[in-house]
A and B are shown apart, each in its own frame.
Chain A
């Protein structure tokens, strides 16, 4: 029962990571670029959400409606004014640019919100749970998992069924050939990052409702997203989702064994996958 509970909690935890992993996989797939500030953006959006909910007394749902467009705008501007200047075959400039941005953001948040941990009140939703045969399942984690599933499915459909998705895949496969057929890669990139960060607007609210947030939490979220993507397999949208579940389960079981072992268990599973199946679990071949 203890282990079944860990398994369920792990899958639910994975729902959170899946949302971070989605944006990371999208940006890497399209631009071969990793935004090191990805986790810091989740934290920034979560902190903005918490402050807004306190200042204006608004609930989680209206907050999502405000934060998602704001996040998408942040993502679009980030790509247009920063990342489009450093995207290219050499990965050093983009890594350094986003690394610098990450340091600046973390410390800016520290200056504004101090090192205190905060969390958001959601009018009871954060503590509501269902009792299924002795296992308590939180309503919020289930919502997070459902949202992650819908987002992953939605992005998968967008990539394969829409004109925009075709442009994204074209820009990813061959930038110059895509440009010749009338796809402006830089415009496509800006939309891709807008989606990747836009998702974080939703994740930010979930993060703030589910756990406590402090300005230094970003790097851990980045690392979880990265591990999920690699475990699942690069180049597959559902890969990141599966990887998130595996990571979530590994951490939840690790925490049950020893509270100091949870995060480490996730890292060890990641390293094991890298050693034994470097192409990822979901990848063919």
Chain B
């Protein structure tokens, strides 16, 4: 394997030792502070918040996490999946089986359940990676449908009627809320925080290069094939984690719900309408989706028509989504992953946006 060998601009600029690399802005420091405050508010929520609002936070966190995983796939690895529900479902079912049938502590079972979507991702990728972009996408859908039909035929997990997480009744409501909200906070740290850390690290340069031009990235020593594979597996595990937590909060899972293609809708809508290839975009998209879902879901089909049309219009007229429209007007990066070079004579931008 060839490692991604990229010279850092600051290190390369030995001819001009006064060059400094800026990695944060005022807006990003504010954003980081706000995130820390929100995270503290979140983990203390069971002591001050209402149960209904805690459920909202759980739901929002799940959307955010699976959308960010899809963002890594589509936005950086160029792998468009419409079958992420496969990983949501298998992780959820694994957690239910581990907790109900094997007596493993459910809060531990959530973390263990992530292994199964990771394992499922291996043959899925091995089979599908040969397919060209659009066919890869539909291929992931077929895998999700096949897994759903297999689960529907397994009597051990009650086939079509689904499973109930009765073991949760050993905990009080308060204990459950603490457990789930802390799981959610950890999930956000791993998925969204992990993505941010990854993109700011040395590997982030390779990912961004791959996003912008896979062929050029390959010629610069980025092992695109390996990176794509690793992202596919990591995204499957992250998506699975979110799925496990979601169905733990629901206390019930069925094949129709766990493997529902609407999980793919959620990912695609949030990332594309919010802004693909940025963490800010996912945040904006998740907020829009969450609010729209709260207020307009009662209008059923009409609401889904509007969501579908918004996705279509974004693809036609605003490829970078709402965050792209915002950041083309005002420069307030909240989660900057690029590097800005400042030279004493004149300041110029360098690195990646």
Is B a genuine binding partner of A? yes
Residue A97 is within 8 A (CB to CB) of chain B in the complex? yes
Assess the B315–A86 pair: CB atoms within 8 A: yes
Q: How many A-B residue pairs have CB under 8 A?
A: 140
Q: For the complex, count residues of A whose C-beta is within 8 A of B.
A: 47
Give the contacting residue for A99; candidates B153, B300, B304, B311; CB below 8 A.
B311
Give the contacting residue for B312; candidates A104, A111, A223, A226; CB below 8 A.
A104
Segment from B24-32, B140-148, B176-184, B288-296 that makes contact with A: B140-148
Size class of the B contact interface (CB-based, 8 Å): 35 or more
B266 CB to nearest chain A CB (Å): 11
Q: Known: A102-B308, A271-B146. Is A107-B301 also a contact (CB below 8 A)?
A: yes
Assess the A278–B142 pair: CB atoms within 8 A: no
Residue of B nearest to A82 (CB): B316
A213 CB to nearest chain B CB (Å): 17
Residue B310 is within 8 A (CB to CB) of chain A in the complex? yes
Give the contacting residue for A268; candidates B138, B146, B300, B301; CB below 8 A.
B146
**Cβ contacts under 8 Å, B149 to chain A:** 260, 263-264, 267
Assess the B304–A103 pair: CB atoms within 8 A: yes
Binary A-proximity of B262-289 (CB < 8 A = 1, otherwise 0)? 0001001000100010000000000000
Segment from A2-10, A57-65, A88-96, A155-163 that makes contact with B: A88-96
Residue B1 is within 8 A (CB to CB) of chain A in the complex? no
Assess the A275–B268 pair: CB atoms within 8 A: no
Q: Known: A91-B80, A95-B80, A264-B146. Is A28-B134 also a contact (CB below 8 A)?
A: yes
**Cβ contacts under 8 Å, A82 to chain B:** 312, 316
Assess the B312–A97 pair: CB atoms within 8 A: yes
**Cβ contacts under 8 Å, A227 to chain B:** 142
Assess the A278–B311 pair: CB atoms within 8 A: no
Residue B45 is within 8 A (CB to CB) of chain A in the complex? no
Residue of B nearest to A38 (CB): B138
Cα(A36)–Cα(B138), bound, Å: 8
Cα(A5)–Cα(B118), bound, Å: 41
Q: Give chain A's interface secondary structure class.
A: helix
A247 CB to nearest chain B CB (Å): 11
Q: Known: A86-B316, A96-B272. Is A261-B153 also a contact (CB below 8 A)?
A: yes
A72 CB to nearest chain B CB (Å): 21
Interface residues of B (CB under 8 A from A): 74, 78, 80, 82, 127-128, 130-135, 137-139, 141-143, 145-146, 149-150, 152-153, 261, 265, 268, 272, 276, 300-302, 304-305, 307-316, 319
Q: Given contacts A104-B312, A110-B301, could you give 10 more A-B pairs where the C-beta distance is less than 8 Å?
A: A85-B316, A92-B78, A100-B307, A101-B312, A103-B265, A106-B308, A107-B305, A108-B305, A226-B138, A268-B146
